[in-house]
Amino acid sequence: MTTAPEAMPVSVTESRLPVANGRQTVREVWRLSRGHRARLVTVVVSGIASTAVNLIPPAVVGVLIDRVHAGTADLGTVLTITVVMGVSAVVAAGGTAATTVLATWLYQTILARLREQLVGRALALPQHLVERAGTGDLISRTSDDVTAVADAAPTVIGALTATAFTVIVSLAGLVALEWPYAAAFLIVLPVYAMAMRWYLRTGPQVYRVERAAMSKRAQQIVESQRGYATVLGFGLGEQRHHTVMKASWGVAIHTLRARTVQSMFNARLNLAECLSLATVLITGFLLIHHGSSTVGAATTAMLLVLRLLGPINQLLFVFDIIQSAAASLSRIIGITTTPGTEAGEPGMTGDTTVRLREVAFHYEDGPRVLDGITLDITAGEHVAVVGASGAGKTTLAAVIAGIHPPDTGTVTRPARTAVITQEVHVFAGTIRDNLTLAAPEANEREIHAALEATGAAAILDLLPDGLDTLVGSGEHQLTDAQTQQVALARLLLVDPELVILDEATAEAGSTHAALLDRGAEAALRGRTGLVIAHRLSQAAACDRIVVMEHGRIIETGTHDGLVAAGGVYAGLWATWRKGKSLGGACGSE
């Protein structure tokens, strides 16, 4: 199992997955860098050293100009300065390359760890949280946001290594040359600061809205794909097309707004660049006029400023990319630092019993679906839940399983709980992969025993490569009955203490009903079980039956006792008996 990182508070809205704030994001990135900080120091040292070497060419050009002006320069002077400039360029380029490679390695290593945590936490998120936010939000974070952070690497690494070091070292060089030049340049820094302040006040919000629009678009696309059969059946293709197009135009509008902010920021940087050159030129003229500086020193100062302008503009302009990546990073870390469980979710009994006390639950702003449920399921007992459609059966199973936390009341259940619903997914891979998904240590003998116990062994005879047959999208297609048999065999390999079957054999139809019922019995044997009964024959086979109506338990007892009592269950049983020859079954949610 994946170990979750230490939980930290994140900002969370009612309808969206959590988003980490700036402090939490920095703290988590620093935690992820653990074990690589010595290399981080090496990056800083090598970056400063290589950019310091880059100060040599402007300095020696200034020396050459002064010697020419004084008439002391000769061919040897020119050759010496040329060699010095060439050697310094080679050394600086090598140092910059080494710094960039090491910084890239660090970036990608930390990003890989973050990706692993994102996948682990995404799979462990409480289902109610994902459903409330929409699966599109989660998909956007695991695709668009990860891509944004990864794609930022080439620019960000260059800006935060060679560029940042160039700014620091060049400013130090100006001060060492003659402090008035540095002072002249520093006078213009407030213009850069105001440009940066404007951008930091405007940019982050624009990028957050853009990312939210991407999540909305992803949600609409996912819903259209998942509901493809419904879209075709009801002729909703045009409607869904317009819905997706509307969401896509929303992304386009917010992206154009982000690019507009980027252009306005660039204009402010160009203004600051012009002012920087003008102030240093004027300062040089005044200093030379008063005999306080030389033409060579002024030339060196101008070369240093020209060397500064590009990196400063790049460093500030890259904040555009950094802000976009940071917005994505905070959304990713919002997931990786979200606890896997929340207050109010089921606790662990320490045995194989289930206990519910005055449990109530409702979806969003809707009415109560469960109201004052108190129920005990003893160790090894099999309890069936029946009732008309909308009675709250599936919701009860979800609350016991921990998929939804109760609004009020308490729920405790065994630590090892497994759920099978009527919607069973076949993962791309082999049959073996699908069977051992939650039990990777299972050996060949255990796999075949699970298939035999659930009546699924015959499936292997129909597959071209047996357990190694590829299934899933684009590969060998399993029937609904075979898919459910695989799910039941997978459950046996997991060996849970509590089994919850939520109409787990409903999709197979009456043709395979008996076979799947035997598989379900094998899955329940020797375990505590909760069965949301699709057919009342399943309920009749359980130790106890719970009848629900409007979110409440109205009857409970054995099959024979409830039939003899002549209540609601007796009526359901009589109706089912009359209709079973036509394929009828008790109502389901």
Query: Which residue segments constitute the domains of the chain, with CATH numbers given?
Result: 22-336 (1.20.1560.10), 347-582 (3.40.50.300)
CA–CA dist 545, 555 (Å, integer): 8
- Determine the pLDDT at residue 559: 94
Residue 191 vs residues 144, 173, 274, 324, 548: alpha-carbon distances, Å: 34, 22, 11, 23, 70
Q: Could you tell me if 584 and 513 are in contact, meaning their C-beta atoms sit under 8 angstroms apart?
A: no
Write out the two tokens for 2: 């994946």
pLDDT by residue for the chain (589 residues), tens only, comes to 333 333 333 443 444 678 888 888 888 888 888 888 888 888 878 877 777 777 777 777 777 777 776 777 778 878 888 888 888 888 878 888 888 888 888 888 888 888 888 888 877 777 767 767 767 778 778 888 888 888 887 777 766 666 667 777 777 777 777 788 778 877 887 887 888 788 878 877 787 788 788 888 888 888 887 787 777 777 878 888 888 898 889 889 988 988 888 788 878 877 887 887 788 788 888 888 787 777 777 777 777 777 777 677 667 667 767 777 888 888 888 888 876 544 344 565 566 799 999 999 988 777 889 999 999 999 999 999 998 888 899 999 999 988 888 999 999 998 888 888 877 888 888 888 888 888 888 888 999 998 888 888 888 887 888 888 888 777 788 888 888 888 889 889 988 999 999 876 665 555 567 778 888 888 899 999 999 987 788 889 899 999 999 999 999 999 999 999 999 999 988 888 876 654 443 333 4
Distance of alpha carbon 562 from alpha carbon 571, whole angstroms: 10
What's the confidence (pLDDT) of residue 56?
74
User: What is each CA distance from 436 to 295, 415, 420, 427, 474, in whole angstroms?
Assistant: 78, 20, 15, 11, 21
The identity of residue 349, as a single letter, is: T
Token pair belonging to 448: 């075949």
Q: Pick the closest to residue 126 from 300, 280, 340, 328 (CA basis).
A: 340
pTM above 0.85, yes or no: no
DSSP 94-139: HHHHHHHHHHHHHHHHHHHHHHHHHHHHHHHS-HHHHHHH-HHHHH
Q: What pLDDT is attached to residue 349?
A: 57
Which residues neighbour 313 within 8 Å (Cβ) at sequence distance 6 or greater?
269, 273
Q: Assess contact for 569 and 385: CB atoms under 8 A.
A: no
Token duo for residue 283: 């300062």
pLDDT, tens digit, for every residue of 300-349? Answer: 777 777 777 767 766 766 776 777 788 888 888 888 887 654 434 456 55
pLDDT at 347: 60
Cα–Cα distance measured from residue 285 to residue 9, given in angstroms and rounded to the nearest whole number: 57
Residue 511's pLDDT is 56
Task: Please give the pLDDT value at position 514.
Answer: 74
Residues in the chain: 589
CA angle in degrees (0–180, nearest 5) for 184-189-193: 170
| C-alpha separations of 204 from 20, 35, 192, 212, 518 in Å | 14, 31, 18, 12, 58
Phi-psi sector, 556: left (phi>0), alpha (psi -120 to 50), beta: beta
